[in-house]
Amino acid sequence: MLPATFRSHLNPTLSLAYPVVLSQLGHVLVNVVDSTVVGQTGKIPLAAVSLAVSVSTVVMVLGLGLTMGITPLVAAADGRQDVAANGRLLVNGVWLSAGAGLLLAALGFLVPALLPHLGQPAAVVLLASPWVKVLFLSFFPLMIFQGFKQFAEGLGLTRQAMSLSIQANVVNAVLCYGLVFGKLGMPHLGMMGAAWATLVARVLMAILMAWYVLRAARLRPYREAAQANLRPDASGLRRLLGLGAPIGVQMTFEMGAFSFSAIMIGWLGATQLAAHQIAINVASVTYMAASGIGAAATIRVGKFFGAHDGPRARQAGLMAYLLTLTFMSLMGLILVLVRNYLPYYYNNDPAVVAQAATLLLIAAAFQVSDGLQVVGLGALRGLEDVKVPSVVALLAYWVIALPLGYVLGFKLQWGAVGVWLGLLTGLTLVAGLLLLRFYRRPLLAAAGATPRPESTLATR
């Protein structure tokens, strides 16, 4: 039985987490839909999607990480009831997101030139190159969406982004099906139809999220504070970058490790790469659930941290850990049971299905580690502790996981299984180190500060 002080964090954490889970799943489901629809056209197009997603996601998470500095700062200012500070965070956050989005979109015209140098099958590279260009264009509206979304979530308003993500994914699924196969009166674009569908869906997400923040009555005080000066200020941008840049770097190290593992698996052939795409797609769905709990931890820990209430900040973080441990253990068990059936939803090639089923068994093994490391990152972000986790990620993934995966996969000839075992090792190491850091870290934002009553910190 949990102590009452811990149980008091259960419902607020779940209330914040489940909308974020569904919203986060929106990013993943775009790739899931693209992969399942394109996979029906053959393993070469599916492998091309895997290559394109692997390369583009590394860049995308860097941009997403830059915006994630908004949420803990907004949560801390909300804990202090500082409306003026949050008005400035709204302005600076949107400017930062828009600028980063433009840079990411521009990179899409350079990345295709790098694909032929990654050692992938020529047929795969040929299909992936134009797909990457369109996908990178979608990063601009995605970043606009993120700027407004992270601000709203910092205030505990998580349901709006959830609703918009669900709507956008319905649009993406319909357009993807219609454009890939030439159905529903749409042109037959093949696998490129999936890329264009993603772009349209993300434009819709950006427009609707901006409309909500700029029109909602409950956010009027923050808009009025922001209207005093709609220009970004250097000190505010530096503060956001001071938090967001290390988060982006950490996410890039992590996602870069997974993307480079896909490139290594691509050296083994299109069959192994297609199987990897199936397994990583399935694992990413459960990961987003843990990521949502991690985002809730950022908000809850950040509010208590801003209010100088260290004990409840720790309790909020540990409750997020407990929820994740329970959920991801269950997901690991389910993956073990259904690993031989899920691959058929993507592709019917017997060799692809057999390899994917084996990789899903390893994915089941790292569910707990993967979930605990992302919740640890979320809890530490609530404490504005972002630099050390970046170093941990660099060492665990790039010094240990990838070299180990290469040795197991190529020197010992374990193939894709060896590469995935290397990733499992890195995830487990990161999870353990971040848990230790959160548990041992002093949590008071200011020495001698008086905690504020729980009632003033209730989430909306």
> 380-395, pLDDT tens digit by residue?
988 888 888 888 988 9
CA distance 251 to 253: 5
Contact between 327 and 17 under an 8 Å Cβ cutoff? The reply is no
Query: How many domains in the chain?
Result: 1
Instruction: Say if residue 115's pLDDT is above 90.
Output: no
| Alpha helices in 80-183, H assignment, sequence order | 83-107, 122-137, 139-154, 159-181
When mean pLDDT is compared across 54-63, 87-96, 134-143, 444-453, the lowest value belongs to 444-453
pLDDT tens, residue by residue, 323-347: 999 999 999 999 999 999 988 888 8
Whether 451 shows a pLDDT value over 60: the answer reads: no
Q: Is the pLDDT of residue 122 over 70?
A: yes
The residue among 456 and 280 whose pLDDT is bigger is: 280
**pLDDT surpasses 70 at 359:** yes
Containing domain of residue 105, as a range? Answer: 4-457
Q: Note the pLDDT tens digit of each residue in 165-203.
A: 788 888 888 998 899 899 988 999 888 898 899 899 999
C-alpha span between 397 and 258 (Å, rounded): 9
Q: In this prediction, what percent of the chain has a pLDDT beyond 70? A: 92
Average pLDDT, the chain: 85
Long-range contacts of 384-388 (CB under 8 A, 24+ apart): 384/72, 384/73, 384/76, 384/243, 384/302, 384/305, 385/437, 385/441, 386/69, 386/243, 386/246, 386/247, 386/250, 387/246, 388/437
Q: Read off the pLDDT band of 60 (50, 70, 90).
A: confident
Helix pair angle (10-39, 310-338), 10° resolution: 40
- In percent, how much of the chain has pLDDT > 90? 35
- Region 410-428 average pLDDT: 93
Higher pLDDT, 218 or 55: 218
What's the pLDDT score for residue 442?
A: 64
Distance CA(13)–CA(298), nearest Å, equals 10
Q: Binning pLDDT at 50, 70 and 90, where does residue 24 land?
A: low
Rounded to a whole number of angstroms, the CA Rg of the chain reads: 21
Q: Using CB atoms within 10 Å of the CB of residue 441, give its burial: 0 to 12 exposed, 13 to 18 middle, 19+ buried.
A: middle
State the pLDDT at residue 453.
42
Q: What's the CA angle centered on 335, arms 333 and 341, to 5 degrees?
A: 135
**According to the model, what pLDDT value does residue 458 have?**
35
